[in-house]
Structure 1
Amino acid sequence: MAGLTPFRILPLLLPAAFLVVALVFWLPELTALLDNTYLGSFKASFIGILLEAMPFVLLGALLSSLLSVFIPDALISRWIPRRPVPALLFACLLGILFPVCECGMIPLVRRLIHKGMPVYVAIVFILSGPIVNPVVYGATLTAFRTHPELVYARMGLAFIVACLIGLIIYVTVRKSPLRLSIKSLNEETHRQDTRGGKLTAVFVHTADEFFEMGKYLIIGCLLTSAIQTFMVRESLAAAFDRPLGAYVFMMGLAFVLSLCSTSDAFVAATFLHTFPAGSLLAFMVLGPMLDFKNSLMLLSLFKTKFALYLFFLILACVFVGSVLMSVWL
C-alpha cells in the first residue's frame, strides 16, 4: 500500500465526497424512486434476463474448457472441411451437436477458433447454432402449432443468412478480426493448464471463461432491462404502422428484448394477428443472432470495426430475407 500517496488518493476522494453530498440532498427523491413501480419492473426484468442467460453462459464456458483440455488441436482442424462451401454447411449443422443458446456461444467459439476453426466458419456457427438445433425447433413448433410453415421458414432463413454471411466474410475479410491473437490465447491456455491436473484445469478454465464473459452479460442485462422498463411499446408500434415498418419494429424489439432462442417464439406468437408473418420471422431470426447483450460479447471477442461490419450484414440479410420469405408465407 506504499504506492497510495495522498496525491493518488485525492482524485478518488473528491468524486466520493461529491456523491455523498448529492445523496444527502437527493434523499427524499431517492426514497420516492425506491417506491416507484418502475424500479420493481426493472429489477424483475434484470433478474429474469440474467437467470435465463446465465446457465447458457456457464454451459458454453464448460464446453469451452472441455474442448481446451481434452480435444487436441489437430482433431478440430481435421473435422472442418477445407473447401468453403462444405465448411459452411458443416458449421450450420454443428448446432445439432452443440444446442447452445446464443449466450453460451461466444466462449465456445473462442475456444474453437483457438483450436483451429477458421473465423468465417466460427461466424456461421455463432449465427446458426442458437436457431438450427432440435431444442429451438421443438419450442418454435410448440408456439406455432397452427402455423408450421413459420417453423420451417425460421430454420431455413437462419440457415441461408448464416451461410451467406459466412461466405461474404470468407471473401472480404483477410486479416484476423480477433481482439486477442491466437498466440495470446495459446499463452493464456498454457497458464491455465499448468495450474494442476486435467480436472483442475477444466474447473479453472470454466471459472475464468465464465467471469470473462459474465461481466459483458451483466452490463448487457442492465441496459436491456432499462430499455424494456421505460420503452412504451404501443407508441413504437403506432410509429411503425407501415408495411415495412412492422419489420423494423419487430427487429428492433428482438434486439431490445434479448430473449433466449428457446423462448422468443412464444413472444412472437402473441403478435401473430397484429403484424405480418414475415416480420415475426425477422423477430425470431434476428434475436438469437444479434441482441443487446450478445452484441457486447461479440465486441469483446472481435475488433470493433469487424463487429460493426458483422452487425450490418446480419441486419441487412435478415431484413431482406424475411421480406422475401413473406411472399411464400
Structure 2
Amino acid sequence: MAGMSDRAGLGLAEDELLPPADWGRRGGSAPGTRAVLLFGVLAAGLVLGRIWVAPGIDARALDAWATVFVAVCVQALPFLVFGVALSAAITAFVPASVWRRVLPRRPAAAVPVAGAMGAVLPGCECASVPVAGGLMARGVVPAAALTFLLAAPAINPVVLVATAVAFPGRPEMVAGRFAASLLVAVLAGWAWLLLGKGDWIRVPSRPHAHGTAGRLEAFRQAMRHDIMHAGGFLVVGAVGAATINAVVPSGWVSAVAGNPWASVLLLALLAVLMSICSEADAFVAASLSQFSTTARLTFLVVGPMVDLKLIALQAGFFGRRFAVRFVPMTFCLAVGVSALVGGLLS
C-alpha cells in the first residue's frame, strides 16, 4: 500500500513510472551478489596474474598496455556519460510525438534523415550507442536509430574540424570522410531495414512517466541503469584494445604499407583494434604518412563505426545476436565505400 501511495503522490498510474523489479537485470541473482562474485573473480585473476604472468612480461609492454587502457577509458568516459544523459533525457522529457513529426513516416525515408541528424550532435561512438537506444525506446524505427548511431560520431562538427586540423591544406580528406561516412551509415540503415529481423535486436525498454516528479524519476532510473550497464562494456573494450596495441609489432605495420589493398585492410583492422575516439583518430591517421590516402580514409571511416569498445557496447545494449550480424555488415560497407571514395580522391 505504501508503494501505491507513493505513486499516487506523483500523479502516476501503477505501471507508468517505475520499471519492473527485474528491469535491466539478467537472471534472478541480486546485483549485490553478482558484484561480489565479479570482484572475487577479478581479485583472483589479479593474484594469479601477479604470480604466473607478471614475471614474464616486459616492463615497457606493460607500461604501453596500461597507457592505452587508461587513454581509451579517459577519452571515452566523458562522451559515454554525455550520451547516457542525453539518452535518459530523450526517454524522460521528449514525447514520442516529437520524433513522429521530425522523422518521415516511411522508414526508408527516415533513414537518411536520421543520418543527417548525426551532423548536429558532437560526441563519439560511445555517446551514440545509448542515444540510439533512447531513440528506439521512444518509438523510432531501429533502422533509422542505427543510421544515427553510425553517422553521429563520424560527421559531427567536432570530428570534421579535427580532421581539417590534422590534414591542413587537404580539404578533400574532410569532404571524403563526411561523404563516405554518411553513405555507409545510410546504406547500413537501409540494409537493416530490408534484411533485419525483429528478434535479432533487443530494443532497450524504458518506463513511461508523466508529471515533473515522474519524469525526473524516470531520468534517474535510466541514467543509473545505462551508466552501470555501458561502463562495464567500455572497460571490456578498452582491455581488448590495449592488449592488441601492446601485442602487435610495429614492424608488421610498415611491411604492408606499400601494398595498396593490403594497406587498406590493415588500417581497417587497426581502426577496429586500436579503438581510438573519433575526435582524436584524425591525428593518428595523419601520422601514418607511409600509407596511401585511401588507406588513411578507410581508417577514419571504419574506426567510429566498428571498434572493440563499440562492439562491446552494442552487444550490451542491443544483444549479441544483433552485434554478430550488424558489425560485419557495417565493416564490409565501410571498407568498400572508403575504397571507392578514396579512389576518387586519389
TM-score, normalised by the number of residues in structure 2: 0.80
Distance 1:321 1:201 in 2: 41
Alignment of 1:87-106 (within 5 A): 87-106=110-129
Deviations 1:1-20 (A, max 9, x none): xxxxxxxxxxx9xx99xx69
Note the C-alpha offset of 1:34.
7.8
Q: 1:45 aligns with which of 46, 58, 68?
A: 68
| Matched AA of 2:186 | C
- Contact 2:151–2:185 at 8 Å: present in 1 too? yes
Deviations 1:105-157 (A, max 9, x none): 11111111010110110111011110111111110011111211111000000
C-alpha change, 1:193 and 1:226, in structure 2 (3 Å) is farther
Aligned match of 1:7: none
Aligned match of 1:324: 340
C-alpha change, 1:322 and 1:97, in structure 2 (3 Å) is closer
- Contact 2:80–2:127 at 8 Å: present in 1 too? yes
Alignment of 1:229-240 (within 5 A): 229-239=246-256
Pair 1:141-2:164 in alignment: yes
Alignment of 1:73-88 (within 5 A): 73-88=96-111
Aligned match of 2:309: 293
C-alpha change, 1:227 and 1:124, in structure 2 (3 Å) is same
Distance 1:305 1:197 in 2: 33
Deviations 1:155-205 (A, max 9, x none): 00011111111111111224243235x6xx14xx25x989x6543443342
Pair 1:68-2:91 in alignment: yes
Aligned match of 1:250: 267
Alignment of 1:1-329 (within 5 A): 27=51, 32=55, 36-180=59-203, 185-186=205-206, 189-190=207-208, 197-239=214-256, 241-272=258-289, 274-329=290-345
SS of residue in 2 equivalent to 1:116: coil
- For structure 1, the residue ranges without an aligned partner over 5 or more in a row are 1-11
| Matched AA of 1:263 | A
SS of residue in 2 equivalent to 1:129: helix
Distance 2:124 2:170 in 1: 24
Aligned match of 2:5: none
Distance 2:70 2:317 in 1: 25
- Contact 1:179–1:300 at 8 Å: present in 2 too? no
SS of residue in 1 equivalent to 2:198: coil
Structure 1 vs Structure 2: percent identity of aligned residues?
A: 28
| Matched AA of 1:294 | L
Distance 1:23 1:168 in 2: 46
SS of residue in 2 equivalent to 1:53: helix
Distance 1:103 1:161 in 2: 18
C-alpha change, 1:152 and 1:172, in structure 2 (3 Å) is same
Aligned residue pair count: 304
| Matched AA of 2:182 | F
- For structure 2, the residue ranges without an aligned partner over 5 or more in a row are 1-36
SS of residue in 1 equivalent to 2:97: helix
Note the C-alpha offset of 1:35.
7.6
RMSD: 2.7
Distance 2:99 2:323 in 1: 25
Aligned match of 2:23: none
Note the C-alpha offset of 1:309.
2.1
- Contact 1:121–1:166 at 8 Å: present in 2 too? yes
SS of residue in 1 equivalent to 2:279: coil
TM-score, normalised by the number of residues in structure 1: 0.84
Deviations 1:212-245 (A, max 9, x none): 1000001111111111112212224425652200
Distance 1:301 1:288 in 2: 17
